Amino acid sequence: MPSRFFITGTDTGIGKTLVSALLCAALLRARTLDEAYRFSPPVSPHLAARLAGVRIDFRRIKLPGPPQLPKSANLIAEGAGGALVPINERQLTTDLMRHLRLPVLLVARTTLGTINHTLLSVAALRAARLNLRGVILSGKPNRENLRAIEHYGDVEVVGNVPLMKKINRAGLLRVYRQNFNHEALER
């Protein structure tokens, strides 16, 4: 079975793109695919679309299939912002995740405040009846926060991305080999 995930986060700027790049390097060994929508301002999707005079319609957002992407291929889809970010006037990112039917990986900081933010996001994902596969922590390892998230959230922390001085493919692959639960991500 291929490894396919929707990457979301507890917030903006927490490392979703870095985690997505890491998972692409480790799992995909393939190319990137164009987005259904692309907007310039770094704001929530609903606002970016409104400023562009567009409405985001889920019927235009589909997982690529053969021949563009074989059913056996791995896939990483990265969301914008956090799990409850508005996509249009009626739908949130959790609705998009449900539409795409991908297991979810939640990226969270390792710093002060992460327990609350992570547990709130875990609760939102579960309330939306999504398949939360695990949490990935981003930043300097913090064993106590990891334990608290796993215990109170009843969720596995499947990886940790430490601060990286230089980001390249070799470094991303090293972090994946050393800091991720391969079994949880490659089943």
Residue 74 pLDDT > 80, yes or no?
A: yes
Give the tens place of pLDDT for each residue, 3-44: 999 999 998 889 999 999 999 999 987 778 888 999 988 899
Residue 70 pLDDT > 80, yes or no?
A: yes
CATH architecture for segment(s) 4-185: 3-Layer(aba) Sandwich (3.40)
* Residues sharing a CB contact under 8 Å with residue 92, sequence separation 6 or more, in sequence order: 83, 84, 85, 86
Q: Break the chain into its structural domains and give their ranges.
A: 4-185
Work out the average pLDDT over 165-184. 95
- Under DSSP, the state recorded for 58 is G
**Is 125 within 8 Å of 94 (Cβ atoms)?**
yes
Work out the average pLDDT over 150-178. 96
Q: How far apart are CA 182 and CA 12, in angstroms?
A: 26
pTM of the full structure: 0.95
- Tokens (6 digits) for 108: 């969270």
Q: What percent of the chain has pLDDT over 90?
A: 83
- Selection from 118, 63, 120, 64 nearest residue 96 by Cα: 63
Residue 107 pLDDT > 90, yes or no?
A: yes
**Is 21 within 8 Å of 112 (Cβ atoms)?**
no
Residue 30, SS3 per DSSP: coil
Could you tell me how far CA 64 lies from the centroid of its own chain? 18
The strand pairing partners of 159, in sequence order, are 136, 180
Buried b (16+ CB within 10 A) or exposed e, 124-140: bbeebebebbbbbbbbe
